[in-house]
Amino acid sequence: MFVLFVSLAFLLSFAQNLWAEEGVTDTEIHLGQWGPQTGTAAAWGNVARGTGDYFKWINDNGGIHGRKIVYHMFNDGYNPAKTKAGVKELQEGTGIFAWACGVGTSPGLAVRDYLAKRNVPWVGPATGSMEFINPPQKNLFAVYPLYAGEAKALVKYAIEKMGKKRIAIAYLNDGYGKNGLNGALSELKAHGMKAVAQVSMEAKDTDLKPHVMKLRKSKADMVLMWTTVSHSARIVGISKAMKFAPQFMSTSTISDCPFMIHITKGIWEGVITGTFGELPGSDDPLLKKYKEEVFDKYAAKEERWGIFYYAGILFTEPMIEALNNIGRDLTRENFINVMEKISGFKGIGPEVNFKPYSKNDIYLRQGTSQTFLIQCLAGGKAKQLTGWMDIK
């Protein structure tokens, strides 16, 4: 009788493990993310730290239907090879239910197909590149506004509101930079114009004097930068030294005005960027709540409240919304089905809307299509130039 009891217990345990979803237990949900904590893109590392503090807050407020989030974050240094190795190690060694956020176009592309083949949900990659929605993938839900649309909005504003006539583009020679370049060229063509210069650079480039010389020779009155934080700071600094003073504009990835003013010792003043979330000093009630209940309570002493810290919350809000809506029956299939039903969701970023999967609609997994423009001011403050604009 005892042997029979033990055998039945073993079989029941085996069956439960067989039926259980990877990365989910009765008390835990395992979620993963990567983020550059070191290297040239370390300025974006607080995205992953913001997500981690957000998850701590959720856990301390009851978790998700009785389950606690177990957060697995690793430093990939913005190196796609490290991203791929780290994701594979966690996915196959630990078992991750879903991936949240993840900084960068190139790092994300290194694991996009791997996660798709395993049908592992991925919500809110921190990139606005078209490669994450075209072709659409059943497991992938984008929250970041598209770079191409953002570039169009910046060029349109420069031409129609500021009267700029000679527009040059400085861009990183990768998927991130080329998405911005293509959007800008498209908008210029719509106005019957061409770029007076297209200057590419590699992530490893540190001497940007030759690049700025090309921009200066073009006599551009607006330079659109689709580059890293360090590249953009160098371009503006070298331009000032060369007495080259166009209107500089840049992407939302470089919209942290206090940080940019600090690292450039003030010469970032006047730069116009897009943004994907409410301003740090906004009166938005939800943003204030996150500041008081997440950042003030959980952030490390050296952490700074800013757009990229709470981007780690913004990009994962839809994921938490879906997890809360599912209930206890948490499977990947249920999660994807509930994500597809998110409509009119408003957190601290643009409104989020998804649709049921179809291989013929590239925008059904692009949850947001809005941005607004800001101008950085002295002291790290920001002036809002527009309201939320549709940019699809």
In a domain, 12, yes or no: no
- Nearest residue to 128 via CA among 110, 109, 104: 104
Q: Where are the alpha helices (DSSP H) in the chain?
A: 2-19, 46-60, 80-89, 105-117, 147-160, 175-190, 209-217, 229-241, 257-263, 285-290, 296-298, 307-314, 317-326, 332-339
Same domain for 268 and 151: yes
10 within some domain: no
Q: Are residues 65 and 167 in the same domain?
A: no
Q: Are residues 208 and 230 both part of a single domain?
A: yes
Are residues 108 and 43 located together in one domain of the fold? Answer: yes
Provide the domain count of the chain: 2
- Please give the average per-residue pLDDT across 57-78, as a whole number: 97
Per-residue pLDDT of 332-376, as tens digits, reads: 999 999 999 999 999 999 999 999 999 889 999 999 999 999 999
Full residue range of the structural domain in which residue 254 is found: 147-275+373-390
Host H or E run for residue 200: strand 197-201
State the pLDDT at residue 4: 44
6: in domain: no
What pLDDT sits at residue 290? 98
Give the pLDDT confidence score for residue 206 in this predicted structure. Answer: 93
- Per-residue confidence (pLDDT) for residue 20, from 0 to 100: 67
**Could you tell me if residue 64 is left (phi over 0), alpha (psi between -120 and 50 degrees) or otherwise beta?**
beta
Letter for the amino acid at 139? N
Q: Are residues 200 and 250 in the same domain?
A: yes
DSSP letters, 35-74, are --SSSTTGGGTHHHHHHHHHHHHHHHTTTBTTBEEEEEEE
Q: Are residues 249 and 290 in the same domain?
A: no
Could you tell me if 161 and 239 lie in one domain? yes
* Domain contains 135: yes
pLDDT tens figures, 199-252: 999 988 999 999 999 999 999 999 999 999 999 999 999 999 999 999 999 999
60 domain-assigned: yes
Q: Are residues 348 and 218 in the same domain?
A: no
Same domain, 211 and 84: no
Relative to beta strand 222-226, strand 167-172 is parallel
Does any domain span residue 367?
no
Report the CATH number at residue 231. 3.40.50.2300
State whether 172 and 258 are in the same domain.
yes
Does residue 231 lie in a domain region?
A: yes
Task: Identify the band that residue 392 occupies on the pLDDT scale cut at 50, 70 and 90.
Answer: confident
Residue 4 forms part of a structural domain: no
Strands 389-390 and 197-201: unpaired
pTM over 0.85: yes
User: Are residues 226 and 241 located together in one domain of the fold?
Assistant: yes
Can you tell me the mean pLDDT for 135-145?
96
Are 40 and 125 in a shared domain?
yes
pLDDT (tens digit per residue) in 145-204 = 999 999 999 999 999 999 999 999 999 999 899 999 999 999 999 999 999 999 999 988
